[in-house]
Structure 1
Amino acid sequence: MARKKKSRSIVQRFDDYFGTGTLEDWQRLCGDIGLDANLSSITQCRKVLKTVHINIHDLLDAVDQGRLPHRFGNARELANYTVNTRRIFPKKKVKEMGPVKALMRHIL
């Protein structure tokens, strides 16, 4: 039961952080990760987000603390960290074509 509650919590935290999905929301996400925040389309934002490896829990914690999240060098490093810390975003809650989809990596 605690695991389900925690899962909903991270999903709600990300939904609250991200907003409605406007270009400005995508640009803010890119900027909060340390990427170019002036991209001119959601498609460009989505493409650049696919190039970084960050943990979504860590992203939200970093935003709350006013700092950049740790960026892993590759998907394997991110996977190892995510499994070891159990800071996993529930795959069932990934919305098709949304920002979480652009950030998700194959972990297990």
Structure 2
Amino acid sequence: MATNGSPTRTTSDQAKKETTPPIYRIQDFKSGELQVWQTMMDLLGFTEIFTSRNQCRKALKHTWVNIVDFFEAINTSSRPRFFANHYQLGRYTVRTGKFFPKKLIPKGSPLRQLFTNIVPRQGRDCD
């Protein structure tokens, strides 16, 4: 409640801010070091021990996870929702509006492996 006794309302801008992953978590995945990749694999629920970034990349090649959901899962100590393919991930992302800006993911970051273009461009199918 507000100080004047009336209930407070959440504006759409406030709601957007609440679904934005915390910056400190994005910072955790900026490095392309093996330890960062291994941490991400563990957070995704992989039980294997990965000894190289290439092993991680291969394991993630057909892993479809919404990045916003991934960060929300980290914050709640749960596993993110996995999708069977990028089409299902795309439909879910469009329906929920949980888009993650590619410009926030630096080159070399393991998050780049989760990123996929889900909105088809004119004359193209989803990548």
Q: Normalised by the size of structure 1, how large is the TM-score?
A: 0.79
Distance 1:106 1:10, change over 3 A: same
2:42 maps to 1:31? yes
- How many pairs were matched up? 104
Which digits, 9 at most, give the CA deviation of each residue in 1:45-72, with x for residues without a partner?
Answer: 1221222000001011111111111101
Which has the greater radius of gyration? 2
Deviation for aligned residue 1:38: 1.3
Match of 1:100 among 100, 105, 111: 111
Counterpart residue number, 1:74 = 85
Structure 2 counterpart of 1:28, one-letter code? T
Deviation for aligned residue 1:11: 7.9
> Mapping of 1:1-108 within 5 angstroms?
9-10=20-21, 12-18=23-29, 20-108=31-119
Distance 1:98 1:20, change over 3 A: closer
Unaligned runs of 5+ in 1: none
Moved more, 56-65 or 28-37: 28-37
Runs of 4+ in 1 over 6 A off after TM superposition: none
Counterpart CA distance in 1 for 2:27 and 2:106 is: 14
Name whichever structure is richer in helix by fraction.
Answer: 1
Structure 2 counterpart of 1:12, one-letter code? I
Distance 1:16 1:96, change over 3 A: closer
Seq. identity, %: 33
- Aligned CA RMSD, in angstroms, stands at 2.4
